[in-house]
Structure 1
Amino acid sequence: MRAIVLESQGRYAEAEAGYRRSEAFRRASLKALPRFETPPPPEQIQQAAELALLAAARAESKQGRVAEAEADARRALLDILDQQGKYSTASPDFINGLAGILVEEGRYGDAEQLMKSAVDVQKTIGVAADSPTYVQTLAELGAVLVAQSKMQEANDTYKEIDAAIAQWPPERRELYQHSESRIVALYAAGKFDDGIAAAQELVKRLSARVGVGAFDVASAQGLLAIGYARGGRDAEAIATFKAAIPVLTTASREAADSDDPTLTAARGERVRRAIEAYIEVLAKSGGDVAAETFALADLVRGHVVDRSLADSSARFAAKDPALAELARNEQDLTKQINAELGVLDNMLSLPADQRDDQAMRGVTAEIAKLRGEAAAAKQEIDRRFPAYASLTRPGSPPVAAIQAALRPDEALVSFYFGRDASYVWAIPKQGAIAFAAIPMKADELSQKVGQLRKALEPEVERVEEIPAFDVALAYQLYASLLAPVEASWKDAKSLIVTTNGALGELPLGLLPTADVKLEPKPGEPLFAEYRNVPWLARNYAVTVAPSASALVTLRSLPPGAATRDRLIGFGDPYFSADEAAQADAELAAAAAPAPVTVASAAESDASANVTRGAPLKLRAAPQTEGVDKAELAMLPRLPDTREELTAMARALDVDPDKALFLGRAANEDNAENKDLSHYRVIAFATHGLVPGDLDGLTQPALALSAPDVANVKGDGLLTVEKILALKLDADWVVLSACNTGAASGAGAEAASGLGSAFFYAGTRALLVTNWSVHSVSARQLTTDLFRRQAAEAGLSRGEALRRSMMALLDGPGFVDGQGHNLYTYAHPLFWAPFTLIGDGGGN
């Protein structure tokens, strides 16, 4: 009982511990049953144990540990099925419990199948069609169908609910008749009047329950405004949106500070839905709405630090006593608010004649008081620790501040890709913002980017098998994304890009600015025809900024100390004793006198049988998906990173033996305890990992040498939490082997977490990869990049990268030891894998 109370108060870790004790007690009780004269049925105790396990899983999910939660919920379900069979009165609760966790993971299809199974079980065992448990299962199924845009099936489900609740009291019926998912389904079916009427009733009911300033009321208002917009009532839509959006955004930030990731995700989705629709209405209005829509998009794009980074930030704050006290106070207030909201919700769930109105007014007043105290606590943190506030709660700066941060030859291009509509903004150093709708939804963009990436991450073994890059499709993207606002950025030389969705997986520099047809000429080496494509990178340096606020913050940093050393690098770590032994043997062989002439690096990389073509040697990536137990020792070694870092050191004219920590030396102890604030360039040539890549990994991390191999303490992982504790004064952090450049999926999590952490620690820019690189060409590109920066003091980071890419593209390509030009590096797989994130200006 105490665990249930703790869970209702938002104290999920304590609740989980209570449920674990309850489960253990009941399982131990099973063994003691023979000592009782009249023992209870074993099935009853077993079911109680499984219910406690399911409750623990629910508490785990509320703490963001969804993988563990899924495993425990699945185990509880399998135990019940084994004990009682599928068609038992208990199984639907366990089926729905697992389904709810899958919903939190975004696995709506899997959740749908489970919920349909629960419906089947309830029908088969004779659960009444009008029973609350059956109706609730149907309602949850309807919501999942809506989330997948299966609107016809959802509306059929809601019709079944209507028939089931026809004889219920009105107050109970309206909970299902006016649900948000149901209103969305009505809109999708074109029943705007019915949807608007239901939304109006929902606003009215919630306003009476929780007051007009509550998040749920604002969410219902946003849904009502969407109905007005879909029904062509734009003026009413805009007025309703203006009332709802401020409350939605404030409450969404409150949820982001909570311990409940489910609450955070749910509120974030509602905010996204409302703001996307509001932008769409403003865009149709034809007024001067560029600045307003830009700020809204920057907000809904949610450049909020992901969950793992937020957790790490809180732990990192504990190292500063003053900040720790303020942060802890703010977090405690947030927990108290959520607990009081839970109490209020429980009160409101009672029939009207059973509610204590005076007690409800007292709870409401307490919530208002706590919110005021929480706002004051946030203001104090903002005032005393602005860097921490910026990390955990980045805002959207005004356009004037963005233009002030831009240099004369720069323009900011910002994209937002939504489920129903997409937009682009271009902000020049001087002049008005350009704003245009993009005729492409987020899923359509993802499909096109995926098609283009097939040529950039090919599953082939030989160079000649690399698929052709679809320049026609790439030009279509340029025409849709950049051409509509070209007038505002074409006079710049450097483009700074902010985006969401799949566009982050595709460097904009490889988009052609004109439609061309590739015509390979006989006798030319492979890929030479790509030199004739008018790539955007021919004339523009492209940098990605995490957000507009991040750009403004980075531009406000003081220049680095002139006395800093040029480079420190960590690479070719050994993840197991076997890898270390193999590396030792290779190094010993390389050091021994050779009886014959040693092949050049080019020769060793080419096939001995040239007539069969050249092997395509891409850098290895972690392959732990689907394995039962994923450990550090399973990661593939990256021996080519040793050569890459050595070449980088020579380009910067530093001694590799002093600047580089390779093999066993690429360990956690050296990375954490070296004074990294003395280096301009910090390079990590190793795998980037995201939660789930290794057992127990709950935050993005860089993989370093295994502690038992390097003879150091730790776990071999430089996690986000550890990166936050570093003190940097770096112009560059290079992450050249971990494919962290992707902006969706696993790459996004790594880029978001690792990138945000390194920016907080003190770097001005990050160099990351978007796909597994070709080792030789990547080494040439990064070496040339830093050689250029070292040689030309005024050369910006972005321009140095652009010139290095073009030099690689236009260069001879791969030449073997006999002088044969086997292929050029003009295919974008070779010259375009790197993305510069952060401040692309300065040297």
Structure 2
Amino acid sequence: MKLSAHCSAVLLALALPLSGAPAAIPAGFSATDPRHASLRRLEDRAFALFNSDDYALSMSQQTRDAWLQLHAAGMRAKVGGRPHPLAGVALINLSSMDQIDGKNPDALARSNEGLTLLEPFADAYPIAWMQGLSIKGFVQIALGNVAGGADTLALASAYMDGYIARTPADRLDKDTHMLRSNIAFSHAQALTRLGRNADAVAAQKASMEARITAAGPNSPDTIGSYYTYAQMLQRADRDAEAEKYARMAVEIATDHVDRKHPSYARALEALGLLLSRTGRRVESLDYLQRAIAIKRETVGTDSLYFQFGLQNLGSVLLPLERYADAEPLFLEAESGFRKIEGENSPQSARALAFAASADVAEGRRDEGIARFEAALARVRAGSDKDRDIGQRVYPYLIPALIEAGRVDEARTIAASFVAETAQLDNAPALPLAQAAMLSAWTGPDQGRLGEAARRLVGVLRDGAAMNDNGELTEDQRAALDTVLAVAAQTQDAPLALDAMAVLAGSRIAQANRLVAQRLVADPALAARVRGLQDKVKALEAADSRLLKALATDKDVAQARVDRAAVAADADAERAALSRDYPRWVEARGGERPELTTLRAGLGEQEGLLAVMPAFDGVYLLAVGPHGARIERAQRGRAAMVTLVNRLRGSLTPAGFDQGAAIDLYRQIFTPGILASLDKARDLRIVPTGAFASLPFAMLPQRPVAKVDRNTPWLIHRFAIEVQPGFAIGARQMTRMAMRDQRFLGIGAPQSFAVAAPALPQRGGGLLAANAYFRNGGADAQALSQLPSLPGSLTELQAVAKRFGADHATLLVGGEASEGALRRRDLSHYGVILFATHGLVSGEMEGVTEPALVLSPPASATADDDGLLTASEVAGMRIGADWVILSACNTAAGKDAQGAAYSGLAQAFRYAGAGSLLVSHWPVRDDASAFVTLETVKGANRGLPRAVALQRAMLKLIRSGQPGAAQPYIWAPFILMGR
């Protein structure tokens, strides 16, 4: 007996695991007993109708009547006083038809009755028995009884395993193995819904293996099993294995499946989503875009399958701040969902809400508000039970209404947010904390606002700590924007510092992801990290319980006590990790600064300025010797980022966009910010996002008619040091005089084009930094197209000459290699200069990381591929007072979103370097040598390092060298701190 094709299709959409076995077959029973031949003829007739290629006939009343006729006849034909088991088979197939028709209560009743009739004879009708259990499990889940459905499917899975084990292989046909795969698939899906991810992995693996047996390793159906298994592995935090199977699905689909087959597009989409969920959104874009293009060509746009693809791609673009690219995708999906599901489609409302969030981020506040309100109205017109859309809309809509001056409306909606969130049985901590803070912000009693905002920051910090990639979601960044807006309104500098530390920490963790992974290769640290994550999960749960108690005003005292105990446990573990593994904590951006400690760490004439974009705003925190101030820039995030990109894109040896430069100065260095910095002469700047690529030193303090040696650049006002986070260490003292320092210069490496002359050349100019990596290592073809650096050898020789032949060592040409560096003791050099290409900006993620380009080896290995990456640097032992990266950043990305040199800077810090001197863009050889030498000499005379760089820049401006007054020549240099 073969399994119905319809039942096979249904079972693909369900599945869970079970255990147990039916009773023994009554003595003397035979399924082929000639006395029941008429029943078997009725069965054959019903199956012929049900398995018809004509779907309408297969699901017709004629087919139902055939099954009902078999059931009635089976009930009359007794076996040992019981109805004939074909009566149960008939009911199980009727239950399948009910389930396909969406009549789940009828399907459950019939499957229960059919299983009861069939149970004593199950071993004689094993396929029907397992089919009945599978249908029952599926409809139990569909009706809300997930645990019960899981138990039923476990029973089906266990029986199937026994049946396969006791049946000779030559009697097991394709349909049986396919049924086994379907049952195990459904089992895995149910286990996932119950949070039993490890068990779900095992069940999906069984499904995949059965599918391979049934259909072969390269069939479209099997490809679906590969990427579903990858999804299960990813949920179980087994990302490396997940990526292996997701890539396998794509590779097999590419080699063996027609491009128009749905499995091909689905394999691409599954890999893209997996990469996205593991923090590699840029890499995921190509797969998601290809999947959409194939869907558009093959299945068309009139399907939910296509619309969800659009929405998935848009959701990946949002955290990359590519709002202009995301918005049209959401709007197309919104239109498609509405066309398919009707005017009040919940999915269309969600797509519209996503588009609205892009509007707000791009500064189109009024348009965003209108779309948010339309999304809410659309869902409420269709149903008053869909709370999810409110959780998506309220956190964005309420702050936008406040900014628009519509406070009364914001207050009403905030009350709805609180009420609806309190009604959710298992509301996460984030929406509960957001609802409480937004209610306090819009309410008449502002006394609760500070406490509510701090609680929200704590939830966000814990959520970020749980993400191995350090990446913040769009919702988290929007929540931090709201906190910073409250801090600016109330001038709560400690609150602003808390929120900014989360933003900065996220950027640090992203830049140092592979460095942190190398550190966690230590089993002892890995175990401690897992232990901390478990404690943070417990703290998130305690936060949710406390916030729910506050929202409902029930059991608040006990929830506070419980939360305090869990928090104390988590804080103790954090402190212990910071003590025992400070490098890992720093790499993860996990340091939590206190304002008093930060101010105490500043020098007498030193100030700190943080410049951070959040969601739709850019926030400024100035900390001076005697006070602090938090402000929101007058222009929004999108406009400010546009100014940075305008300035960076306009820089040439002949000039720059003076309008953009002066506008940025006025937006950042407001009267209030300058007053807080007071008389500070040294300035530490903590920038994130686009502002990490802003050359602050060249911002003019007032408009000028022309650029000359007297232009009032910011470098005249402040000696500047840039740092990725808020750690303030003790000032480092010079360890030796220049005459005693040893110098190591590495650069002018052999070209990859020489090492790989047979490789075809690509068109175009420089690529984004991400493009110079392939499969975790160097992409020789891309690296072969980097332009030569003819002046780097001259620069190295000029610097070496100043140190003297006895104190200088040069590794150039073929000797500028990873191998040569590893063979050398680097702890004895006071100054180390790299004069080569740096792959540091653009969208770096995944297996790629910031790197310096050295000479290619004769044969590449994992340890020597010609790229000295940040994680490799972190494993070195360097004793230099100064590490200087010259002529770097020539492989810049398309915009200013990269985190500049933070990844490399941190790596050299971990390796033991004192200060890092780097450049924002390619540097003229003579200018680089001049600034390098003057800065090192000044520091050796006892000047603070930022002051030494400041004086070197000013000396170059006034030197009279050709073009030296132009900022393109002197402004790229920055001193990087921790």
Q: What's the secondary structure of 1:755's corresponding residue?
A: helix
TM-score using structure 2 length:
0.64
Mapped partners of 1:469, 1:109: distance in 2:
24
Give the Å deviation of 1:331. Answer: 4.2
Q: What's the secondary structure of 1:130's corresponding residue?
A: coil
Q: Is the 8 A contact 1:195 1:227 kept in 2?
A: yes
Give the Å deviation of 1:172. Answer: 2.5
In the other structure, the counterpart of 1:642 is: 793
In the other structure, the counterpart of 2:911 is: 761
Q: What's the secondary structure of 1:533's corresponding residue?
A: coil
Q: 1:717 aligns with which of 851, 854, 867?
A: 867
Return the structure number with greater relative CO, CA threshold 8 A, min gap 6: 1
Q: 2:408 aligns with which of 179, 193, 206?
A: 193
Q: 2:682 aligns with which of 489, 494, 509?
A: 494
Q: What's the secondary structure of 2:974's corresponding residue?
A: strand
In the other structure, the counterpart of 1:806 is: 954
Give the Å deviation of 1:780. Answer: 2.6
Q: 1:63 aligns with which of 243, 268, 278?
A: 278
Mapped partners of 1:516, 1:406: distance in 2:
33
Give the Å deviation of 1:768. Answer: 1.2
User: Which letter maps to 1:497?
Assistant: I
In the other structure, the counterpart of 2:328 is: 113
Q: 1:578 aligns with which of 716, 730, 754?
A: 754
Mapped partners of 1:21, 1:306: distance in 2:
39
Mapped partners of 1:670, 1:210: distance in 2:
61
Give the Å deviation of 1:484. Answer: 4.2
Mapped partners of 1:486, 1:127: distance in 2:
56
In the other structure, the counterpart of 1:427 is: 624
User: Which letter maps to 1:108?
Assistant: Y
Give the Å deviation of 1:638. Answer: 2.0
Query: Could you list the per-position Cα deviations for residues 522-579 of structure 1 after superposition, in whole angstroms to 9, with x for gaps in the alignment?
Result: xxxxxxx602334443464322233332xx2353x78758999522222122341427
Q: Is the 8 A contact 1:576 1:709 kept in 2?
A: no
Q: 2:804 aligns with which of 653, 668, 678?
A: 653
1:85 has 2:236 as partner: no
Matches within 5 A, 1:304-703: 304-331=506-533, 374-415=570-611, 419-420=616-617, 422-428=619-625, 431-433=626-628, 439-453=634-648, 457-458=651-652, 466-467=654-655, 470=658, 474=662, 477=665, 481=669, 484=672, 486=674, 491-500=679-688, 502-513=690-701, 516-518=704-706, 530-538=708-716, 540-549=718-727, 552-555=728-731, 565-578=741-754, 631-655=782-806, 659-690=809-840, 697-703=847-853
> Higher mean Cα deviation, 204-213 or 190-199?
204-213
User: Which letter maps to 2:746?
Assistant: F
In the other structure, the counterpart of 1:205 is: 420
Give the Å deviation of 1:254. Answer: 2.1
| Counterparts in 2 of 1:435 and 1:308: CA distance versus 1, 3 Å | closer
User: Which letter maps to 1:318?
Assistant: V
Q: Is the 8 A contact 2:873 2:911 kept in 1?
A: yes
User: Which letter maps to 2:876?
Assistant: L
In the other structure, the counterpart of 1:737 is: 887
Q: Is the 8 A contact 1:43 1:83 kept in 2?
A: no
Q: What's the secondary structure of 1:707's corresponding residue?
A: coil
Mapped partners of 1:29, 1:779: distance in 2:
62
In the other structure, the counterpart of 2:932 is: 782
Give the Å deviation of 1:297. Answer: 6.0
In structure 1, stretches of 5+ residues that fail to align are 34-41, 284-288, 349-362, 519-528, 583-619, 814-822
Q: Is the 8 A contact 2:842 2:893 kept in 1?
A: no
Matches within 5 A, 1:810-821: 810-813=958-961
Q: Is the 8 A contact 1:725 1:761 kept in 2?
A: yes
Q: 2:385 aligns with which of 162, 167, 171?
A: 171
> Higher mean Cα deviation, 398-407 or 774-783?
398-407
In the other structure, the counterpart of 2:85 is: none
| Counterparts in 2 of 1:370 and 1:29: CA distance versus 1, 3 Å | farther
Q: Is the 8 A contact 1:498 1:547 kept in 2?
A: yes
User: Which letter maps to 2:729?
Assistant: T
User: Which letter maps to 2:658?
Assistant: D
Of all paired residues, the percent bearing the same amino acid is: 26
Give the Å deviation of 1:269. Answer: 0.8
Matches within 5 A, 1:246-265: 246-259=454-467, 264-265=472-473
1:749 has 2:888 as partner: no
Mapped partners of 1:648, 1:148: distance in 2:
47
Higher Cα Rg: structure 1 or 2? 2
Q: Is the 8 A contact 2:268 2:288 kept in 1?
A: yes
TM-score using structure 1 length:
0.73
> Higher mean Cα deviation, 202-211 or 93-102?
202-211
Give the Å deviation of 1:811. Answer: 1.8
> Higher mean Cα deviation, 164-173 or 566-575?
164-173
User: Which letter maps to 2:525?
Assistant: L
Mapped partners of 1:675, 1:7: distance in 2:
55
Give the Å deviation of 1:29. Answer: 3.2
Query: Could you list the per-position Cα deviations for residues 32-81 of structure 1 after superposition, in whole angstroms to 9, with x for gaps in the alignment?
Result: 99xxxxxxxx9999446644553343222110122332233233333333
Q: Is the 8 A contact 1:560 1:729 kept in 2?
A: no
Give the Å deviation of 1:275. Answer: 1.8
Q: Is the 8 A contact 1:16 1:60 kept in 2?
A: no
| Counterparts in 2 of 1:626 and 1:426: CA distance versus 1, 3 Å | closer
> Higher mean Cα deviation, 637-646 or 503-512?
503-512
In the other structure, the counterpart of 1:239 is: 447
Q: Is the 8 A contact 1:689 1:750 kept in 2?
A: no
Mapped partners of 1:100, 1:438: distance in 2:
27
Q: Is the 8 A contact 1:732 1:765 kept in 2?
A: yes
| Counterparts in 2 of 1:558 and 1:512: CA distance versus 1, 3 Å | closer
Give the Å deviation of 1:766. Answer: 1.3
Mapped partners of 2:866, 2:942: distance in 1:
38
In the other structure, the counterpart of 2:485 is: 277
| Counterparts in 2 of 1:742 and 1:796: CA distance versus 1, 3 Å | farther
Query: Could you list the per-position Cα deviations for residues 343-375 of structure 1 after superposition, in whole angstroms to 9, with x for gaps in the alignment?
Result: 99xxx9xxxxxxxxxxxxxx9999999877654
1:826 has 2:937 as partner: no
Matches within 5 A, 1:831-842: 831-838=970-977
Query: Could you list the per-position Cα deviations for residues 639-686 of structure 1 after superposition, in whole angstroms to 9, with x for gaps in the alignment?
Result: 321221221222223558x62211222222233453322222222222
Query: Could you list the per-position Cα deviations for residues 471-490 of structure 1 after superposition, in whole angstroms to 9, with x for gaps in the alignment?
Result: 99549826961654556656
User: Which letter maps to 2:831?
Assistant: V
Give the Å deviation of 1:748. Answer: 3.7
| Counterparts in 2 of 1:487 and 1:112: CA distance versus 1, 3 Å | closer
Mapped partners of 1:3, 1:369: distance in 2:
35
| Counterparts in 2 of 1:713 and 1:58: CA distance versus 1, 3 Å | closer
Mapped partners of 1:765, 1:210: distance in 2:
52
User: Which letter maps to 2:968?
Assistant: L
Mapped partners of 2:381, 2:676: distance in 1:
62
Q: What's the secondary structure of 2:708's corresponding residue?
A: helix
In the other structure, the counterpart of 1:526 is: none
| Counterparts in 2 of 1:532 and 1:561: CA distance versus 1, 3 Å | closer
Mapped partners of 1:488, 1:695: distance in 2:
37
Mapped partners of 1:476, 1:245: distance in 2:
29
User: Which letter maps to 1:63?
Assistant: T
Q: Is the 8 A contact 2:749 2:814 kept in 1?
A: yes
User: Which letter maps to 2:914?
Assistant: R
Q: Is the 8 A contact 1:469 1:828 kept in 2?
A: no
| Counterparts in 2 of 1:434 and 1:318: CA distance versus 1, 3 Å | closer
Q: What's the secondary structure of 2:282's corresponding residue?
A: helix
In the other structure, the counterpart of 2:10 is: none
Mapped partners of 1:421, 1:634: distance in 2:
37
1:707 has 2:857 as partner: yes
User: Which letter maps to 2:476?
Assistant: G
User: Which letter maps to 2:973?
Assistant: F
Q: Is the 8 A contact 1:422 1:441 kept in 2?
A: no
**Two-structure CA RMSD over aligned residues (Å):** 4.8
Q: Is the 8 A contact 1:632 1:706 kept in 2?
A: no
Q: Is the 8 A contact 2:337 2:345 kept in 1?
A: no
User: Which letter maps to 2:684?
Assistant: I
Q: Is the 8 A contact 2:610 2:622 kept in 1?
A: yes
Mapped partners of 1:321, 1:682: distance in 2:
33
